[in-house]
Amino acid sequence: MICEASHIKGKVENVVKYVKYNFLENRLYVDIDVLNRSCLDWLDRTANAKVHGTTKKIPAEVFKEECEHLRPLLDIEINSTAYIYRTVRKDNTIVYDSNRYSVPLGTYNSQKEVRIEVKDNRLFIETSFGDPICDHPISTGRGLLIKNTSHSRNRKEPLDAAQAAIDELLQYKATEFLQTIRTEKSRYARDQFKLLQTMYDKYGLDKVLRAIDFCNTSELFSTTYVRDFLEYNEKPKKEIAFKEIPVSDNKYHITTQKRSLEVYAKVGGMN
């Protein structure tokens, strides 16, 4: 029995204790099936058939009333997939079935542990949260290194160059914004920088910097928000005309009386 709420734990334990000391104690049984049948018979004739000392009701009758209000359990999809976890080695490889499989350069620094899944004779390597990293065909050999040649390339350098280029284009006035994008959206940083380049070509430096300043102030660290800000401000705004409603009734045309400050001064006792 599993109880999460502390105030329910004692109630469940009392039920177990009731069965333990009123039915199981000193009772002989041949096997578990006989014991279960005997317990159900005991419940029908004793535990659930007698008036409860506190509620003054018969549990079996109360249960019949409660059954009318019971609802079926919702269908819950249970994921029975068994994941295997592996430690990423310093050389950016993992070991599976006596072979080493490569992961992209730098994975060791960001993912100390990955999970793997075998499907269709391929080894899928993912982060602990299920984000894909890479995959390999499973080797039938032993003691081999299965390596993707692209995994040894430093993909950080081209990204550094892209960030430096857009930073220079924006006259180094959005360095902090670009670095935040690089940190929080590392997987999509290249696409973010490309979109920012497109916005620069379309709207110019001043408008882009104004949009970035708005995003910084609002803590919206994404180039898509920069684009949305620019597109919104480029749309022609419709002027809202407020129509005055004439009021003909004189009681709505009231001029409030204005008193001199000397009146309040006299009330306050000031000379």
For 194-235, write each residue's pLDDT tens digit: 899 999 999 999 999 999 999 999 999 999 999 999 999 888
Look up residue 7 and give its amino acid.
Answer: H
Instruction: Tabulate helix, strand, coil % of the chain (nearest 5).
Output: 50, 10, 40
- How much is the pLDDT for 271? 57
Whether residue 208 is found in the same domain as residue 162: yes
| Chosen domain end from 130, 152, 174 | 152
Among 99, 153, 156, 110, residue whose Cα is nearest residue 133: 110
- 107 lies in a domain? yes
Residues 145, 99 contacting (CB under 8 angstroms): yes
Q: How far is CA 183 from CA 41, 132, 134, 188, 203, in A?
A: 66, 19, 21, 10, 26
Q: Per residue in 226-270, pLDDT tens?
A: 999 999 988 887 777 766 766 777 766 677 777 777 877 777 666
Whether residue 177 is found in the same domain as residue 110: no
Angle, alpha carbons 193-199-201 (nearest 5°): 105
Whether residue 160 is found in the same domain as residue 229: yes
Mean pLDDT of the chain: 84
Select the more confidently predicted residue: 72 or 144.
Answer: 144
Whether residue 166 is found in the same domain as residue 212: yes
Contacts for 165-172 with beta carbons within 8 Å, 24 or more apart? 165/193, 166/193, 166/196, 166/197, 166/200, 169/197, 169/200, 169/205, 170/200, 170/205, 170/208, 170/209, 170/212, 171/205
Count of alpha carbons within 13 angstroms of residue 149, beta-carbon side: 0
- 242 lies in a domain? no
- 243 lies in a domain? no
- 10 lies in a domain? no
- 8 lies in a domain? no
- Cα gap 132→115, rounded to integer Å: 10
Q: Which domain holds residue 230?
A: 156-234
- Cα gap 224→9, rounded to integer Å: 51
Give the confidence band of 24 by pLDDT, cuts at 50, 70, 90: confident
| Chosen domain end from 152, 177, 211 | 152
Whether residue 161 is found in the same domain as residue 220: yes
- How much is the pLDDT for 209? 94
The structure's pTM equals 0.37
- 125 lies in a domain? yes
- How much is the pLDDT for 1? 45
Select the more confidently predicted residue: 155 or 46.
Answer: 46
Q: Per residue in 31-68, pLDDT tens?
A: 888 888 888 898 888 888 888 888 889 988 998 898 88
Least confident of 26-35, 89-98, 107-116, 234-243: 234-243
| Chosen domain end from 100, 118, 152 | 152
Structurally, the chain folds into a number of domains equal to: 3
- 199 lies in a domain? yes
**pLDDT exceeds cutoff 80 at 13:** no
